Structure 1
Amino acid sequence: MSAGRALWKPILIAACVAIFIGVLGGTLTDTGPWYQNLRKPSWQPPDWLFGPAWTLIFALATASAVYAWRSASDKAQREWVIGLFALNGFLNVLWSTLFFALRRPDWALIEVVFLLISILMLIVSFWRRSLSASLYLLPYLVWVAFAAVLNLEVVRLNGPF
């Protein structure tokens, strides 16, 4: 493989996976009548902000994946990077499925704890090998923590489900 292809391959793969996860999560996010009729806290951001926020978060996660991949010293470490991001992507889509598709914000509130743990696992796992890979994930951690509090408020204001 040429040096140019070796440099671009992880970027293209990470970008394609991030786009796939983002599109899949987006298609599960139905903000129709059920969602609109939920009582939400006054401090919830406007709906239009969520798309750009997630786009930025997925772009930063893509950069994180590339830095983590390139900092891996062997095949086992690269497989660990893939596994951690795969788990995180699954949990990200699962949250959307629970909250929007199944209309169970209460279940999503339980699941978001695991999503937060998966983000922390990514950050801690990459910290020593690639500080950049970890730092690129901090906005994701903050956003999901904010979303968890928002999720809690939706459950509190609308439960039981």
Structure 2
Amino acid sequence: MKFKPVAFIINIAITLSVGALGGWATAKSVKTWYPTLNKPSFNPPNWLFAPVWTTLYVLIGIAAYLVWIRRDKIVHFPRTVAIYLIQLILNLAWSFIFFYLHEVGFALAEIILLLAIIIINALTFYKINKWAGLIFIPYIIWVSFATFLTYNIFILN
């Protein structure tokens, strides 16, 4: 299939935009509220989150592009898009719930739902394009870790 640079850039721009909105919701609390929380010993340093999330958003965008270029061959393309968009919305919602609203318990419940939808998204993409599904593995691993971290922060606070 021929590479479509505009579609490629748009798919990555969408995910990076979600990341930017999440970053906006996070920015103030990372300096004010977040440092006041009790955190487990395995809590990563703050500087690690931006490069990890940026990389993940680029990977998510690449996966979406790999599915988008096959959209004409996907019987349930609207359902596939809906799963993808729900996953992005839940991803963004976690930042607002945790960092903007300071609702750690609600954020824990939300991230568990997010992780389930990410796995569903990965499996859906895998059926369309194996690489698109496999690209989600680092995202699944990171959000699994983030779920465990959120759980520990909830317990400690």
TM beyond 0.5: yes
The residue that corresponds to 1:139 in the other structure is: 138
Distance 1:156 1:109 in 2: 10
Distance 2:114 2:121 in 1: 11
Aligned 1:32-43 pairs, distance under 5 A: 32-43=31-42
The residue that corresponds to 1:125 in the other structure is: 124
Distance 1:118 1:102 in 2: 22
What residue identity is the alignment partner of 2:48?
Answer: L
User: 1:65-98: CA deviations, max 9, x gaps?
Assistant: 0111123344754433322221111101111111
Q: What's the offset of the Cα at 1:125? A: 0.7
| Runs of 4+ with deviation above 4 angstroms | none
The residue that corresponds to 1:92 in the other structure is: 91
The residue that corresponds to 1:16 in the other structure is: 13
Q: Which moved more, 1:74-83 or 1:53-62?
A: 74-83
User: Cα 1:78–1:10, aligned 2, differ >3 Å: closer, same or farther?
Assistant: farther
User: 1:29-86: CA deviations, max 9, x gaps?
Assistant: 1202211010000111111000000011011101100111123344754433322221
Is 2:13–2:61's contact at 8 Å kept on the other side of the alignment? Answer: no
CA RMSD of aligned residues (A): 1.8
Aligned 1:145-156 pairs, distance under 5 A: 145-156=144-155
User: What TM-score, normalized to structure 1?
Assistant: 0.89
Counting aligned pairs with the same residue, the percent is 31
Distance 2:12 2:153 in 1: 32
User: What TM-score, normalized to structure 2?
Assistant: 0.91
Is 1:72–1:129's contact at 8 Å kept on the other side of the alignment? Answer: no
The residue that corresponds to 1:51 in the other structure is: 50
Which structure 1 segments of 5+ residues have no match?
none
Distance 2:98 2:75 in 1: 35
Distance 1:84 1:17 in 2: 15
Q: What is the count of residue pairs matched by the alignment?
A: 155
User: Cα 1:66–1:54, aligned 2, differ >3 Å: closer, same or farther?
Assistant: same
